Structure 1
Amino acid sequence: MRGVLYVIVCAAGPARDVGRLVALAQGEGWVVQLVATPAALAFIDVPALEAATGRPVRSRYRDPGEPKPPRADAIVVAPATYNTVNKFACGIADTYALGLLAEAPGLGIPVVVLPFMNTALAARVPYRRSVDQLRAEGVRVLTGPTADDLDGDYADRFPWHLTLAELAAD
């Protein structure tokens, strides 16, 4: 076993296929804990992902008395939206997913981010500044295709495997 991998999924087209990343990670020996941003819940098949991981999909802080999930050994954020990347860089923790991300660099937990947005958003100065800031903190922000590149054809073209290859590079 490689450890516990938190997969944080955001509300973007490729999210519906996040099960591919779950399967790839499990094939490499990771125990996967899936965390969805609140908006991502509409994009994913929660029951199927819970069956695949054997764990509840988390999207909110736990209630008092609920068991704590295992601590992450690594975190992958894919697909990462413009909003999530910018909030992560600013230290905003207004959702469970962002709270995890806000703490991760300070805890020494490796984080790999695979953004997905349109070309116009990817070209914005605030986004580029956020990527630079995250990289300066040791977060590995990958360069992937934009929504314009894939034009809705996510199933076989979104490069989930790049996130795991980046983690393996340690």
Structure 2
Amino acid sequence: MTSQPVLYLVVSAAGPAQHIDDLVGLLIADGWTVCLILTPTAATWLDRAALAERTGHPVRVEWRLPGDPEPHPEADAVAVVPATFNVINKWATGVNDTLALGILNEALGAGVPVHAFPRVGDLGNHPAYPGHLRLLRDAGVQVTDLPDIRRDGWQPVVDTLRPTKP
């Protein structure tokens, strides 16, 4: 049990994910308990052991087995940073083929506040993307463009999430 608000941070495989440890540090300093859930590709890019040590919680990629205890405390909010084209489109259509998508889908069903910070590049011009983004917004997802991390750093993400704290 934690006295701090719990943020499930879902990380998908786009360039900024390589620096997610910097965001984790800022979120912890801002008073969040951070629990990381990675897409399978993002998991190959990141040092899961170092992130688990930093957060104090296991970094999850795979589903837990039936009967296994939930390794993370209950979420007060969920953020997907960065949200890739693939994640946005699968999530909007209810695909549940990874733990990361399962967490995002469950959060929508449970009414947990959810934020998405897309990083899709030119794929944002694909004809399916605007409709899927609109569907997620209509479902209550707060969508904010991911800032240029090299120029602006992660602080805009932290500032966007701060009002979500209970």
The one-character-per-residue Cα deviations of 1:118-159 (angstroms, maximum 9, x if unpaired) are: 2x20112211111111111110111235xxxx6xxx5x3365
Q: TM-score, normalised by structure 2?
A: 0.89
Q: Is the 8 A contact 1:16 1:45 kept in 2?
A: no
Aligned to 2:39: 37
Counterpart residue identity of residue 19, structure 2: D
- Equivalent of 2:7 in 5, 8, 18: 5
Looking at structure 2, the residues matched to 89 and 161 of structure 1 have their Cα atoms a distance apart, in angstroms, of 27
- Structure 2, unpaired ranges of 5+: none
Partner of 1:125 in structure 2? Answer: 127
Letter in 2 for 1:70: P
> Could you list the runs of 5+ residues in structure 1 that have no partner in the other structure?
none
Give the whole-Å Cα distance in 2 for the aligned partners of 1:164 and 1:80: 16
Give the number of equivalent residue pairs: 161
Counterpart position of 1:165? 159
Q: Which residue of 1 aligns with 2:64?
A: 62
CA offset at residue 3 of structure 1?
1.1
User: Which residue pairs with 2:49 in the alignment?
Assistant: 47
Instruction: Say whether residues 1:22 and 2:16 are aligned partners.
Output: no
* Partner-residue secondary structure (3-state), 1:22: helix
Q: CA deviation digits over 1:67-107, x for unaligned, max 9?
A: 21211110110011100011111111111110111111221
**Cα separation, 2, equivalents of 1:64 and 1:103:** 17
Cα pair 1:14 1:158 within 8 Å, conserved: no
Task: Kindly state the Cα deviation for residue 54 of structure 1 after the two structures are TM-superposed.
Answer: 1.2
| Secondary structure in 2 matching 1:169 | helix
2:128 is aligned with 1:142: no
Q: What pairs with 1:46-125 in structure 2 (closer than 5 Å)?
A: 46-68=48-70, 69-118=72-121, 120-125=122-127
Could you report, residue by residue, the CA deviation over 1:11-67 in whole angstroms, capped at 9, with x for unpaired residues? Answer: 111111111111111011111100000111111111211111111100011123432
Q: Percent identity?
A: 42
Mapped partners of 2:151, 2:49: distance in 1: 24
TM-score (norm 1): 0.87
Q: CA RMSD in A?
A: 1.7
Q: Is the 8 A contact 1:36 1:58 kept in 2?
A: yes
SS at match of 1:7: strand
